[in-house]
Copies of this chain bind each other. A is one copy, B any other.
Amino acid sequence: MSASLRSGNEYPIPETMRAWVLGGPEELSLVEKPVPEPGPAEVLVRIDAVAICATDLEIIRHGLPASIEGELPFNKGYTPGHEYMGTVVKLGPSVDEYQLGDRIAVEIHAGCGRCRRCREGMYTSCLNYGFPSKGHRANGFSTDGGFAEYAVNHVNTMVHVPDDITDEEATLIVTAGTAMYGLDVLGGIIAGEGVVVIGPGPIGLMGVGVAKALGAQPVILTGTRDRRLEMGKRLGADAVVNVNHEDAVAAVQRLTGGRGVQYVLECSGAPNALNEAARMVNRGGRICLAAFPHEPVSVDLAYIVRNNIYVFGIRGEGQSATHRAAALMGQRRFDAKLIHTHTFPLVELPAALRYARDRVEDAIKVVVKMRGS
């Protein structure tokens, strides 16, 4: 099919597109490759903006964080990038959930829809993870992602972008969705409950925003960098703790009159974070691990068991949390834009990655923008 045949609508689609592909580790090239074709229940998205996540840096350097057996993404023409948003420009067969021109943001995981986990609604735990032939897609992980001009998305991996949310801000919907999901697995009903967020990275900062939007109280953010902690305050934290100056557990006990909190959302991956989280919650408290140390660490399981503590590991967003996050952002419950610090054009992806990795100029969220502005 030629571009001219396709162009009967207001979104003319070229035959080929610019896309970054991963060669060996750390080898990204900007190439011209065919625009993909949406299948049933899929759409073609013209990408308008894509943010850089720490996991992207991981994938580009080491391969996939999940243990997809034997598969490394290198030298396969694979395009990373999973925090993108854009415009629906073509509908696959049977799609009526979206219309041409809709602005959408993405979540990552389209489960296979046929394994036991998908069947029970736990699609981020899909047992066919990494098997696109079975229907699974994790865009930017096991299938092509968003460092490109176009991408194909299953309708299950999209959410409408609320009006008045800019492209840059919309790339943060999936980030906020992950934070939302972390609070969901902790129980979700958190108004008036104490929540500690450990680690003021993008997910942690969004966690502060979501927790406060849902009425948590107090929301306490711990970290090491004052500038990020200050941002946490602007996103709604009732208190922040710089752990370089005060012991995190002692601070939480001080701030809660010795009662501790109900919930901890751990987003730091620090080696001692779980042990500290266990001492921040009261008996029967719950901890969500949304980050992790790369090496095994020493954990005081006796404390966890004796105190009836529950620990929930999560990978990414789930249970349609991205939709809930988008709703809160559309209602302006917190200002996600605060964490967007830098913008680059697509051709400058390597510079964008460097800013994100090295936190150049205090970069938090670095966004690659496809067009103008």
- Nearest-neighbour CB distance to chain B for A239, whole angstroms, equals 15
Whether A114 touches B135, Cβ cut-off 8 Å, given contacts A214-B214, A289-B305, is no
Whether A299 touches B302, Cβ cut-off 8 Å, given contacts A311-B311, A331-B217, is no
Given the complex of chains A and B, what is the CA–CA distance between A313 and B40 in angstroms?
Answer: 32
Given the complex of chains A and B, what is the CA–CA distance between A292 and B304 in angstroms?
Answer: 9
Which of chain A's residues 271-305 have a Cβ closer than 8 Å to chain B?
Answer: 274-275, 282-284, 289-305
Given the complex of chains A and B, what is the CA–CA distance between A265 and B307 in angstroms?
Answer: 17
List the one stretch of A22-30, A227-235, A321-329, A346-354 in contact with chain B: A321-329
**Chain A interface residue bracket vs B:** 35 or more
A298 to B301, Cβ gap below 8 A?
no
Given the complex of chains A and B, what is the CA–CA distance between A180 and B333 in angstroms?
Answer: 19
B313 to A292, Cβ gap below 8 A?
no
A215 to B217, Cβ gap below 8 A?
no
Give every chain B residue within 8 A of A289 (Cβ-Cβ): 301, 304-305
A308 at the interface (CB under 8 A from B): yes
- Nearest-neighbour CB distance to chain B for A115, whole angstroms, equals 8
Given the complex of chains A and B, what is the CA–CA distance between A113 and B40 in angstroms?
Answer: 12
Given the complex of chains A and B, what is the CA–CA distance between A192 and B120 in angstroms?
Answer: 15
Chain A 93-135, CB within 8 Å of chain B: the 1/0 string?
0100100000000000000011011111111111101000111
Which of chain A's residues 175-220 have a Cβ closer than 8 Å to chain B?
Answer: 180, 184-185, 188-189, 191-193, 213-215, 217
A57 at the interface (CB under 8 A from B): no
By beta carbon, the residue of chain B nearest A287 is B311
B126 to A324, Cβ gap below 8 A?
no
Give every chain B residue within 8 A of A312 (Cβ-Cβ): 310-311
A125 to B301, Cβ gap below 8 A?
no
B113 to A113, Cβ gap below 8 A?
yes
A284 to B327, Cβ gap below 8 A?
no
A308 to B315, Cβ gap below 8 A?
yes
Partner of A114, one of B156, B292, B326: B156
B215 to A191, Cβ gap below 8 A?
no
A302 to B306, Cβ gap below 8 A?
no
B122 to A191, Cβ gap below 8 A?
no
B315 to A306, Cβ gap below 8 A?
yes
- Nearest-neighbour CB distance to chain B for A159, whole angstroms, equals 9
B327 to A215, Cβ gap below 8 A?
yes
Which of A126, A294, A302, A312 gathers the greatest number of chain B CB atoms within 10 Å? A302
B293 to A215, Cβ gap below 8 A?
no
Given the complex of chains A and B, what is the CA–CA distance between A307 and B192 in angstroms?
Answer: 28
Given the complex of chains A and B, what is the CA–CA distance between A67 and B304 in angstroms?
Answer: 12
Give every chain B residue within 8 A of A296 (Cβ-Cβ): 275, 298-302
A97 to B120, Cβ gap below 8 A?
no
A215 to B333, Cβ gap below 8 A?
yes
Partner of A304, one of B119, B188, B259, B313: B313
User: Residues of A at under 8 Å CB distance from B?
Assistant: 40-41, 65-67, 94, 97, 113-114, 116-127, 129, 133-135, 154-156, 180, 184-185, 188-189, 191-193, 213-215, 217, 259, 274-275, 282-284, 289-315, 318-320, 323-328, 330-331, 333
Show 9 A/B contacts (Cβ-Cβ < 8 Å), sorted by A. A114-B156, A121-B121, A125-B307, A127-B282, A189-B324, A214-B214, A294-B302, A297-B298, A310-B313
